[in-house]
A and B are shown apart, each in its own frame.
Chain A
Amino acid sequence: MDFFDRFAVPHPSFLIYASMVGIGLTMIAIVLGITYFKKWGYLWREWITTVDHKRIGIMYLLVALLMLFRGGVDAVMMRYQLSMPDNTFLDSQHYNEVFTTHGIVMILFMAMPFITFFFNYLIPLQIGARDVAFPRLNALSFWLFFMGMGLFNISFIVGGSPDAGWTSYFPLANNEFSPSVGTNYYMIAIQIAGLGTMISGINFITTILKMRAPGMKLMKMPMFTWSAFIANVIVVFAFPVLTVLLALGTMDRLFGTNFFTTDNGGMDMLWANLFWVWGHPEVYILILPAFGLYSEIIATFARRNLYGYKSMVVSMVVISVFSFLVWTHHFFTMGQGAFTNSIFSITTMAIAIPTGVKIFNWLFTLWKGKIIFTTPMLYSMLFIPLFTLGGVTGVMLAMSAADYQYHNTMFLVAHFHNVIIPGVVYAMIAGLTFYWPKMFGFMLNERIGKWTAWLMSVGFVLAFIPMYITGLDGQARRMYTYSESTGFSMLNMVSFIGAGIMAISFALLVYNIYYSIRYASRDIGNDPWDARSLEWATHTPVPEYNFAITPQVASTQAFWDAKKNGHELFKGKIEKIHMPNNSGWPFILGCIFFVFGFAMVFSIWPLAIVTLIGILGCLVYRSFEKDHGRYISVEEIEETEAKLRGAKK
């Protein structure tokens, strides 16, 4: 009996049981649906075993959207709990689990897959390549990420969610103060997903360095590819720190080591330091690709080339270097003394300079342009003022003496949502709207799209601006309740209303997808936005091989030059194309990793050892496998091309 006890949720509530039933019914419905429509074979052949970067990208997108809603529900629950003093909707344990999972889900399982979706879908298209450098590793990255995500998400119905905050500071996160298996899930699920992220980082760097179309020198790459390149370099340098950190945390929790304990020489501050040595670069991993997307969108709809291309690139390089030199600003209050704080205060403020350069470059891109307000452009134009507000509050937080007052308060919470939502989330939705026609062959409805953008912004302002004020009034973050006498209640109610409006705007986004699937025109051509870079030069929908003939590039906006200045993109004739074969082993390996992770979380050692051997077995099998891919014949390509050209006109 003892064996099964540990799988029970330690703090059950009606909400958790309701979600259990909900998840169970949804799973059964999906399985029945797929069986009824006989889609298992299709699913296996076309999606689960795929190595096509576009399909892998779309799977990342699905996960990201799913997690956006999960994290969003968490957010609304928190805002509702705090909307009234002494509210009893959530108890403290449940609230702690909710804000912990909200943070992890939004950063690691929503924002990360969202940008990885853009990396996957766009990088090969923007550089004129047929796929990424290692298509199979790419599939493995996805399945590792997916299984890590899955493992993390079952935590709240099997054994309990992590409850020590997304930062999981020790000693709070050790066995003594966090006795449930929740924090084991944190350590192991993030480890598995992080492994996937690191592999894809290596993959994209290699792709960008080696597979660019002829003529595309580094300084002729589209801005999004540049931002993706720099972000992935940060991934490769920052994620090993996370790997070590989580491994040490796992050992402390499972094997009784003393890295972060308070006994026998353990050092809790080491966790905080290592966590932020990874954690700060991580936020730039998210924001730089977002900057890249804004650059593409703003240039497209200002009908002008991006102003200050070189300084855009240089500023991103500077930001990436500085991102590793500021981690201490997350704990100015740890008592390092005035000197250390001063150094990190200055390095932190210095990041505002390259970021400011980017803002001004976008403004100058609009200058003398011919601005068209489409939905993606609207998001970008709302991004600039809102993100500037988030950026300047960041400078305020960087003043370490004043940070003693902001730290751990709602002011800080307001700040980082103020950069992440207009910075990253808007970019993701703007990018999604922008690239939707390329992916699916129809556009999202513009009118609903603009309503969504405005509603989201109104909701955002109402939800987060009050937090700056309550923070300065002494409301600490992560408090599950407060008393009437504090006077926080009115502003928190405003926040809740804002959160509700944001929730409506996301529902509207879903409605827009539904509406556009039903009613949008399918006759949109390959280049509905009159855009500038290579991804628009191929057909919609994009054929498996991306480009029938590898394009020739001579500037940063090759496709625009082809349209306006007579640049010839596709020289030469069609030749047979080498493509990789689909493979089931990334998925199988991912599944074994899932079981391994589960065994580790619950310390079921025999199963852990068996699955570990299984993982090694998979690697050996892969090493001996002979698979040189296949060729698409010239006739086949010509046939596809003719069909796509026909479909378009």
Chain B
Amino acid sequence: MKIKVKWALLTMIFTIATVLTGCEPLLVLDPKGPQAKTQADDIMLSILLMSGIVIVVLAILVFVLIKYRASNQKDDYEPPHIEGSALVEAICIGIPVVIVIFLSFVSVKSNYEVEATPAAYEDTEPLIVYASTSNWKWHFSYPEEDIETVNYLYIPAGRAIEFKLYSYGPITSFWIPQLGGQKYAMADMVTTLHLAADNPGEFMGRNANFSGAGFAKNTFEVTAMSQADFDEWVEEVHETATPLTEDKFEELLEPGHLGRSTYTGTHLEFSPAPEHNHGSTESEVDHSEHENHDSNHSDEESDHAHH
């Protein structure tokens, strides 16, 4: 009877999983860019491999449980004393070692892929976007285009995008599941995330790292469009939007939720990103000197932070 319950249980899991995944593709497994594709491939590969392991373990377990049940044996059966065998244990270590080596290989390769400009768009000049958070908003600065948006992001499709991430408060995490995995935005250094969208489309983006009361609604909308549309949009913004002043930006930093808004100019001019770039060759000493030089700026930052 128990075996039946177990099978019923398993059938239930599989049904739930297949039915639910069948309805609509899950965001992460429905990639729209090369980085997300690499990650989705890794995920599917590991799911397959890992299912194999689970099934093997389950099969052995069910087999021994049925075969060696006390009720299936003679009353006078005395289980033998077995210390263990070097060969069996070598196999038990050997197979996992092979699997881990294989997955390590895949993992390392993907690491270098997602940490670099996407291979497919290497020949394009990456668009640099500074994405910063304040409680609980996203600020996107396009230094080359000289515009800034709040809580929405327009990007050209078919071109590498380099995000420079940092925060005006708690650690947050910049995540657009369909374009690629997340990365932290922190107050004292800039992190870099490489993404690209293959085709025009609309995507969900959010802060994935808990950052206080307004965290749940700390989202943004991403629209990928052709380069021509993107250029047109930039032009339009320059014609219609108001310039971002220091006072206005300070107002934007106040904790709370905001809708979408658009400005010409970026906050980078009066409130630049933190100097320290993680992973760069710049030494800590240089960093602190920079801080001294830029003490005016850092004072401003701390003023903002105290609001």
**Chain A directly contacts chain B within the complex, with at least one CB pair under 8 Å:** yes
Q: Which residues of B contact A342 (CB under 8 A)?
A: 104, 107-108, 111-112
Bits for A491-513, please: 1 = Cβ < 8 Å to B, else 0.
10010000000000000000000
Q: Which residues of B contact A465 (CB under 8 A)?
A: 13, 16-17
Number of interface residues of B (CB under 8 A): 101
Bits for B160-183, please: 1 = Cβ < 8 Å to A, else 0.
000000000111010101001111
Stretch in contact with the other chain, from A113-121, A470-478, A599-607 = A470-478
In the complex, B151 has a CB within 8 A of chain A: no
Stretch in contact with the other chain, from A197-205, A289-297, A300-308 = A300-308
Whether A461 contacts B12 by the Cβ 8 Å rule is yes
Bits for A444-475, please: 1 = Cβ < 8 Å to B, else 0.
00000000001001100100011001001110
Given contacts A363-B64, A401-B110, A408-B209, contact A335 B279 (CB under 8 A): yes
Q: Which residues of B contact A356 (CB under 8 A)?
A: 92-93, 96
In the complex, B244 has a CB within 8 A of chain A: no
Of A92, A336, A370, A409, the contact of B216 (CB 8 Å cutoff)? A92
Residue of B nearest to A486 (CB): B204
Which chain A residues in 382-407 approach chain B with CB under 8 Å? 384-385, 388-389, 392-393, 395-396, 398-405, 407
Whether B68 contacts A367 by the Cβ 8 Å rule is yes
In the complex, A310 has a CB within 8 A of chain B: yes
In the complex, A69 has a CB within 8 A of chain B: no
Distance, CA A351 to CA B26, complexed state (A):
29
Whether A171 contacts B84 by the Cβ 8 Å rule is no
Stretch in contact with the other chain, from A59-67, A125-133, A261-269 = A261-269
In the complex, A341 has a CB within 8 A of chain B: yes
Least Cβ–Cβ distance between A297 and chain B, in angstroms: 14
Whether A92 contacts B208 by the Cβ 8 Å rule is no
Least Cβ–Cβ distance between A166 and chain B, in angstroms: 10
Least Cβ–Cβ distance between A509 and chain B, in angstroms: 19
Whether B88 contacts A396 by the Cβ 8 Å rule is no
Whether B188 contacts A262 by the Cβ 8 Å rule is yes
Of B2, B170, B171, B213, the contact of A96 (CB 8 Å cutoff)? B213
In the complex, B81 has a CB within 8 A of chain A: yes
Whether B79 contacts A404 by the Cβ 8 Å rule is no
Given contacts A172-B170, A402-B46, A474-B204, contact A479 B107 (CB under 8 A): no
In the complex, A177 has a CB within 8 A of chain B: yes
Which chain A residues in 312-357 approach chain B with CB under 8 Å? 331, 333-338, 341-342, 345-346, 349-350, 352-353, 356-357
Whether A368 contacts B39 by the Cβ 8 Å rule is no
Distance, CA A396 to CA B48, complexed state (A):
11
Whether B13 contacts A405 by the Cβ 8 Å rule is no
Of A359, A472, A478, the contact of B57 (CB 8 Å cutoff)? A359
Task: Identify whether the interface residues of A are mostly helix, strand, loop, or mixed.
Answer: helix
* Max chain A Cβ within 10 angstroms of own Cβ: one of B43, B192, B279: B43
Q: Which residues of A contact B278 (CB under 8 A)?
A: 334-337
Whether B64 contacts A367 by the Cβ 8 Å rule is yes
Bits for B62-77, please: 1 = Cβ < 8 Å to A, else 0.
0011001110010001
Which chain B residues in 77-104 approach chain A with CB under 8 Å? 77-84, 88-89, 92-93, 96-97, 100, 103-104
Q: Which residues of A contact B298 (CB under 8 A)?
A: 263
* Max chain B Cβ within 10 angstroms of own Cβ: one of A307, A311, A408: A408
Residue of A nearest to B205 (CB): A474
Q: Which residues of B contact A402 (CB under 8 A)?
A: 39, 42-43, 46, 107, 110, 181
Whether B215 contacts A479 by the Cβ 8 Å rule is yes
Distance, CA A109 to CA B82, complexed state (A):
39
Whether A333 contacts B70 by the Cβ 8 Å rule is no
In the complex, B199 has a CB within 8 A of chain A: no
Whether A476 contacts B20 by the Cβ 8 Å rule is no
Q: Which residues of B contact A267 (CB under 8 A)?
A: 188
Residue of B nearest to A483 (CB): B217
In the complex, A440 has a CB within 8 A of chain B: no
Q: Which residues of A contact B209 (CB under 8 A)?
A: 408
Q: Which residues of A contact B285 (CB under 8 A)?
A: none
Whether A472 contacts B26 by the Cβ 8 Å rule is yes
Residue of A nearest to B29 (CB): A472
Q: Which residues of B contact A309 (CB under 8 A)?
A: 83-84
In the complex, B283 has a CB within 8 A of chain A: no
Q: Which residues of B contact A345 (CB under 8 A)?
A: 104, 107-108, 111
Distance, CA A333 to CA B20, complexed state (A):
29
Whether B82 contacts A305 by the Cβ 8 Å rule is yes
Of B47, B79, B302, the contact of A369 (CB 8 Å cutoff)? B79
Whether B80 contacts A473 by the Cβ 8 Å rule is no
Distance, CA A476 to CA B207, complexed state (A):
8
Whether A404 contacts B114 by the Cβ 8 Å rule is yes
Whether A395 contacts B182 by the Cβ 8 Å rule is no
Whether A334 contacts B191 by the Cβ 8 Å rule is yes
Q: Which residues of B contact A19 (CB under 8 A)?
A: none
Whether A408 contacts B182 by the Cβ 8 Å rule is yes
In the complex, B28 has a CB within 8 A of chain A: yes
Of B16, B58, B100, the contact of A349 (CB 8 Å cutoff)? B100
In the complex, B144 has a CB within 8 A of chain A: no
In the complex, B228 has a CB within 8 A of chain A: no
Whether B64 contacts A395 by the Cβ 8 Å rule is no
Whether B305 contacts A176 by the Cβ 8 Å rule is yes
Distance, CA A344 to CA B17, complexed state (A):
31
Show 10 A/B contacts (Cβ-Cβ < 8 Å), sorted by A. A262-B188, A304-B82, A308-B84, A310-B84, A335-B189, A338-B115, A356-B93, A361-B84, A385-B58, A476-B175
Besides A92-B214, A378-B2, A396-B46, 15 more A-B contacts (Cβ < 8 Å) are A172-B210, A305-B83, A335-B191, A345-B111, A353-B93, A364-B88, A370-B79, A385-B61, A401-B107, A402-B110, A466-B16, A466-B20, A472-B43, A480-B215, A480-B216
Which 5 pairs across A and B sit closest by C-beta, in order of nearness?
Answer: A404-B181, A335-B191, A401-B110, A308-B84, A392-B50
